[in-house]
Structure 1
């Protein structure tokens, strides 16, 4: 047995068996009928039975599913920065996190379109408790982040994941995607949690942490959706936190959010990949001696790269102006765009709840506030 068996995706030698074990599952049928509405069930089943590698499964099925999602629930995906990456090099993509499935799926579609190495991607084990979802995630090259562990087990799990990420990047030449924080950003304030950086550092010699970070080629990624398909679903947790209350998820909340993120309207989507953090890491290493402060500085550097290149949409500017009762950014949107956004607000949020209204507007407005911190970024 491999030490990574508890978290790794399928090996290619296990793919066909994994596919056959979910071939007749109702959710597989729903997914394939959505992706290939004109194809007879026996045809797509026959093609799946002939699939023996993760790459073939991703290219022939997942890629097509994501294209159908974009067609049905968005006004298209645009990208920038991918042309500066090397086709034969693996990278550690650290991304802001807005949608459970689509963030990494859209990145992989973009990597494939640019003939770059696709990623193995981190996913919380709380999201794949259903057997079908676990197997599908392993077929899609996801590795598990173990959640809600006691401190000693969490330390062991973090070391294991750090070592696995290092193996993928440095020995298997496989790119990796990981979110900048545990869980999605719900208030629009994207921020890198230092715990993520510390977890990655566990794979290095403690005296050579910054050298290790250079070696694994960190690439910050910003992804932005014109409409967040799960915006209203995030409100209860934001309101609870604003009231200093402990938020407890409903039984199937993660699954409902997952489906809503995939099928809900997103309008336009943009992904930007920054350059590899190379000179930035040299600068941190040469100017800061303390390892904790180095990690803090690296987290800030990732934040700067993500926030300053985040694509702002009319919805962000409209929300800012509504929240602050101003027309400061009125040149960035039309009256029709404003009317549509206000209609969405009315449909999604109870007007009698001012805290919910404020939280909803802040979620869209905060990326504008964050970008205003960077000179000439707006």
Structure 2
């Protein structure tokens, strides 16, 4: 047995047996009916049971599914910065996190279209409790991050994830995707948690754990949805926080967020590659500061890159002007776009609850403030 068996994706030699386990599952049949509406069930099943690698499964079934989601639930995907990436090169992609499945699926689709190495991607094990979803995630080259642990169990789990990521990047030449924080951003404030960066260094031996980042290629990714398909689903958690109450998820909440994220209205989507952090990491590494402070500096740098690369949509500018009661960004949207956004808000939000209204607007407006701050602070000065 491998030390990573409890978290790793399937190996290619295991792919076909795994596919045969789920090929008759009603959820898979629903997915394939959506992906290949003009194909017969017999045809795609025959293709699937003759699939023997994760890449073939991703390219022939997951990729067309993602393209169909883009077609049905958005007004298109735009990209930038992929020309900065090199073929046959493994990268650690650190991304803001808005959607459970699509963030990494869209990135992998773009990597495939640009003939670049696909990622192995982190996913919380709370999202793959159902046997079908667990099998599907492993076929889609996801590795599990165990949630809800404390103390020694949390440390051991973090060490295992760190070792798996290091092996993927430096031994297998496999790119890795991870979110900048645990869980999706709920308020539009995309911030890198130092704990995520610390986890990445746990497998590095010696007195300079930060040196790990000099051995790998770190690439911040910004993903921007014009409309967040799960915005309304975040409101119960906002309300709980406003009352200083502990928020407890409902039984199927994660699954409902997953489905709404995939099929909910997004309008336009943009995915931006924000370049390698080689120079910035070297500069931080030379600083005579503590290891925790170096991680904090790196987190700040990643934030600056993600904020600067975020594609601001009319929805962001409209929300900002409505939240602050001015017309600072009126040139960036039309009256028709404003009317459409307000209609959406009135349909989704209890307009009598001032806290919910402000929270909804802030979720869309915060990226405007963050990008303004990022563009006022160049990388060299932010590291001084």
TM-score range (shorter-chain normalised) is over 0.9
Aligned to 2:381: none
Against the structure 1 CA distance between its residues 280 and 256, is the aligned structure 2 distance closer, same or farther, given a 3 Å change threshold?
same
1:148-182 Cα shifts (integer Å, max 9, x gaps): 01211010000000000000000000000000000
Return 50-59 or 365-374, whichever deviates more.
365-374
Mapped partners of 2:47, 2:307: distance in 1: 42
Residue 72 (structure 1) shift:
0.1
Q: Are 1:28 and 2:28 counterparts? A: yes
CA contact under 8 A between 1:239 and 1:359: conserved in structure 2?
no
Equivalent residue of 2:296, what SS? helix
1:289-319 Cα shifts (integer Å, max 9, x gaps): 3111001111111111101111100000000
CA contact under 8 A between 1:224 and 1:269: conserved in structure 2?
yes
Mapped partners of 2:351, 2:292: distance in 1: 45
Aligned to 2:16: 16
Alignment of 1:219-230 (within 5 A): 219-230=219-230
Residue 120 (structure 1) shift:
0.1
1:44-63 Cα shifts (integer Å, max 9, x gaps): 00000100000000000000
Aligned to 1:105: 105
Alignment of 1:278-317 (within 5 A): 278-317=278-317
Mapped partners of 2:293, 2:25: distance in 1: 50
Q: Are 1:67 and 2:64 counterparts? A: no
Q: Which runs of 5+ in 1 are unaligned?
A: none
Mapped partners of 2:273, 2:374: distance in 1: 18
Aligned to 1:353: 353
Equivalent residue of 2:220, what SS? strand
Q: Which runs of 5+ in 2 are unaligned?
A: 378-384
CA contact under 8 A between 1:214 and 1:277: conserved in structure 2?
no
Residue 353 (structure 1) shift:
1.4
Aligned to 1:342: 342
CA contact under 8 A between 2:8 and 2:144: conserved in structure 1?
yes
Aligned to 2:127: 127
Mapped partners of 2:3, 2:54: distance in 1: 21
Aligned to 1:367: 367
Equivalent residue of 1:373, what SS? helix
CA contact under 8 A between 1:317 and 1:365: conserved in structure 2?
yes
CA contact under 8 A between 1:314 and 1:332: conserved in structure 2?
yes
Q: Are 1:180 and 2:168 counterparts? A: no
Q: What TM-score, normalized to structure 1?
A: 0.98
Equivalent residue of 2:173, what SS? coil
CA contact under 8 A between 2:305 and 2:374: conserved in structure 1?
no
CA contact under 8 A between 2:102 and 2:262: conserved in structure 1?
yes
1:341-360 Cα shifts (integer Å, max 9, x gaps): 00000110111211111110
Mapped partners of 2:287, 2:76: distance in 1: 43
Return 277-286 or 47-56, whichever deviates more.
277-286
Mapped partners of 1:315, 1:165: distance in 2: 36
Residue 92 (structure 1) shift:
0.3
CA contact under 8 A between 2:208 and 2:291: conserved in structure 1?
no
Aligned to 1:254: 254
1:246-290 Cα shifts (integer Å, max 9, x gaps): 001011000000000000010100011111111101111112331
Mapped partners of 1:69, 1:106: distance in 2: 10
Aligned to 2:233: 233
Aligned to 2:243: 243
Q: Are 1:202 and 2:202 counterparts? A: yes
Equivalent residue of 1:375, what SS? helix
CA contact under 8 A between 2:188 and 2:367: conserved in structure 1?
yes
Mapped partners of 1:20, 1:206: distance in 2: 45
Q: What TM-score, normalized to structure 2?
A: 0.97
Q: Are 1:169 and 2:165 counterparts? A: no
